[in-house]
Structure 1
Amino acid sequence: MAENLRIAVIGTGRMGSDHIKRLTHTIAGADVTGVVDIDAGRATAAAALAGDHAKVWNDPHAALASGEYDAFVLTTPGMLHYDVLMDALDKRVPIFCEKPLTADAATAREIVDAEAALGQRLIQVGFMRRFDAGYQRLRGWFEDGSLGAALMLHCRHRNPTSPPNFTDALMIYDSVVHEIDGVRYFTGEEITEITVRRGRASRGAGGQLSDPQQILMRTESDVLVDVEIFVNAAFGYQVHTEAVFEQGVVDIGGDEGAYVRTAGRWGGAVTPGFEQRFAAAFDTEFQGWVNTLRAGRAPDGPSAWDGYAAAACCEAGVAAQDSGETVAVTLGDKPALYR
């Protein structure tokens, strides 16, 4: 496809608006020519971000049926994904779906089976960390085996504050989901079990959350994983991973950027949020997706299976939160399309 991709963005909230700006001003080979949102005012404002040439829709299914777009970006809340994804599969239109794939593992599995029945990949799921340079370097150590077998992963995921009405379950579904996908990305294995441990809660959680928590996981080859999730860490946004191999240890996500000494002080800055920490990863993710589609190839980033596996692990994680027990993760057969 020589021309720019005509893209419609479904959902114009925080992520949708950010992606409209990215596709318009940073990504080559793409034009946002449609925006979809039930809120007409928000949709109109989002269309202006694309340079006032984007058509406004209030119904995603009408936009999908119009034939006016080469691909779609879906950024609505997860409970609204299922019908749109099924419609996109029915019309055989490529769609980039921000995580989660759907709101639960059962419907995510239905999406997987529907796409597998078509025999072609159309869905890419927005696990942007896979496109971070540090993540890709660390995966290389797992793949080349030069440090021996992987034994353990130690992960830290810290946010400055949590949004209003954030819940313990959302600590898994909205935050730890990234570590879940990261473990699968690094190791190339599925997660087989999850345990959640609660301890002393920070006063920053306002009595609403058991924050922080420790998530323990095991992979198919018995790599042990521990995750600290702390969503009211106050000081900034930090994602750090340490991989322990038989013959060495590799860290990524440490403090980066300028280290300044001035006026009797020394130090650097901590990123305030995920948008800044993973800005380059988002750009790489979308440029690769656009390049692949323009070349006439199927999306090759995180798949519907990856979205389903993450959903199943999140459900197991919340069950472990509630029960205090170790919960097994059961995925069922993996279709040949994703092997």
Structure 2
Amino acid sequence: MNLAVGVIGAGIMGTEHARILCEDTPGARLAAICDADESRARAAGRGQSQVFSDPHALIFSDKVDAVVIAAPDSTHKELALACIEAGKPVLCEKPLAVTAAEAIEVVEAEVAKGRKLVQVGYMRRFDPPYVDMRRVRESGGIGDPVILHNVHRNAVVPEWFTGAMSVTNAFVHEIDISRWLLGAEMISAQAHCGVGGDPLLVTMETDRGEIVSTEVFMNCRYGYHVHAQLVGRDGTIETAVPITTLTNASGRHEFGFPDNWVPRFRTAYANQMKAWVAAAAGGRASDGANAWDGYVTTSIAEQVVAALEMQSRVRLSLMTRPSFYD
């Protein structure tokens, strides 16, 4: 029997999740979709899914087994709490909540429920290059890690996308993937800002003394480009541009960069969905970022914003992790 999944939000990510569920997720079906724009929801659901205008009605529907939240960030906490109340597995796009205080509410609700129901959509954990980098690190293939270099470049963002949003909406991916790749926690951070607020350079130190450097460039102009290199005592490993073809024409040997993140991480999103559906259908916790990871990422992002404003290094602090997440 296929897992009946409801998707909340029919924007870029909601539509992509709906497509993956319809085309590339054995064992699941897109049972329902919700959006304030009914025509957009109907289009994303391809006329095959029940359309809701009220997200809570979708969450508590007896025709929905599990929920994907791809609605605006400000709604994530409220909707995740409703999924926990309903006892339904939820894949919530990042962030889990817009503040650390709100994220910890979700953590506390899940602990009180006694079931790990929440996965946060940090899809890089399912991206083949990053998965291979972690495998090599864990096997000792490059020796003990020393430095992790991250690059996160976006072609262009709207004028309302502020310096703080470069941290809270973009750099959060580097926070999560750095913790996951290294198997370590961040203990300090410092942020430097380029002229006009873009790009940013953020450096963090882990509890094992590793250094994490990240360039966040929201208006690089040439395309969407994410890259990472892990430096070990005995070698390095880095992501290679995920392409399938190279073009030779007009005296040039080249490939192109996409305009946004979806083409770059299309495989990661599909892998994430398959793993989440398998876990939800099997009644077990998923292997992705959990609610605690969502809290940690949001909390560190808040503290990095403070470091950026103060132009100083900050010692990162977190609440004590509940044993529930051990």
Query: Fold match, TM over 0.5?
Result: yes
What residue is the counterpart of 1:309 in the other structure?
A: 296
Which of 180, 199, 204 matches 1:212?
Answer: 199
Q: The residue matched to 1:66 in structure 2 has which SS?
A: coil
Trace 1:142-291 onto structure 2 (pairs within 5 A): 142-199=137-194, 201=195, 209-254=196-241, 256-291=243-278
After TM superposition, the score normalised by the length of structure 2 is 0.95
Q: The residue matched to 1:33 in structure 2 has which SS?
A: strand
Q: The residue matched to 2:197 in structure 1 has which SS?
A: coil
What residue is the counterpart of 2:7 in the other structure?
A: 9
Structure 1 residue 320: Cα displacement: 1.1
Structure 1 residue 224: Cα displacement: 0.5
Cα distance change on mapping 1:265 and 1:38 into 2, 3 Å: closer
Question: Which piece of structure 1 moves more, 223-232 or 263-272?
Answer: 263-272
Cα distance change on mapping 1:324 and 1:45 into 2, 3 Å: same
* Conservation of the 8 A alpha-carbon contact between 1:120 and 1:337: no
Listed as ranges, the gaps of 5+ residues in structure 1 are 202-208
Structure 1 residue 255: Cα displacement: 6.6
Structure 2 distance, partners of 1:35, 1:266, is 43
Trace 1:63-74 onto structure 2 (pairs within 5 A): 63-74=58-69
Q: Deviations over 1:31-53 (max 9, x none)?
A: 11111122333333333x2xx13
Structure 1 residue 331: Cα displacement: 1.3
What residue is the counterpart of 2:24 in the other structure?
A: 26
Q: The residue matched to 1:232 in structure 2 has which SS?
A: coil
Count of equivalent residues: 326
Structure 1 residue 195: Cα displacement: 0.8
Q: Deviations over 1:211-236 (max 9, x none)?
A: 11101111111111111111111111
| Letter of the 2:80 counterpart | L
Q: The residue matched to 2:60 in structure 1 has which SS?
A: helix
Structure 1 distance, partners of 2:173, 2:115, is 26
Structure 1 distance, partners of 2:268, 2:8, is 21
What residue is the counterpart of 1:86 in the other structure?
A: 81
Which of 38, 48, 53 matches 1:53?
Answer: 48
Cα distance change on mapping 1:164 and 1:30 into 2, 3 Å: farther
* Conservation of the 8 A alpha-carbon contact between 1:157 and 1:227: yes
* Conservation of the 8 A alpha-carbon contact between 1:257 and 1:269: no
Listed as ranges, the gaps of 5+ residues in structure 2 are none
After TM superposition, the score normalised by the length of structure 1 is 0.92
What residue is the counterpart of 1:294 in the other structure?
A: 281
Q: The residue matched to 2:57 in structure 1 has which SS?
A: helix
Structure 1 residue 248: Cα displacement: 0.9
Q: Deviations over 1:155-214 (max 9, x none)?
A: 111111113411101100111111111110111111111111123x3xxxxxxx511110
Q: Quick check: 1:40 aligned with 2:35?
A: no
Structure 2 distance, partners of 1:37, 1:260, is 40
Structure 2 distance, partners of 1:7, 1:259, is 38
* Conservation of the 8 A alpha-carbon contact between 1:89 and 1:115: yes
Runs of 4+ in 1 over 4 A off after TM superposition: none
Identity of aligned residues (%): 35
Structure 1 distance, partners of 2:79, 2:102, is 12
Which of 98, 101, 105 matches 1:106?
Answer: 101
| Letter of the 1:261 counterpart | N
Q: Deviations over 1:222-265 (max 9, x none)?
A: 11111111111111111111111111111114474433333322
| Letter of the 1:292 counterpart | A
Cα distance change on mapping 1:265 and 1:83 into 2, 3 Å: closer
Q: Deviations over 1:103-148 (max 9, x none)?
A: 1101101111211222221011100111111101111122122322
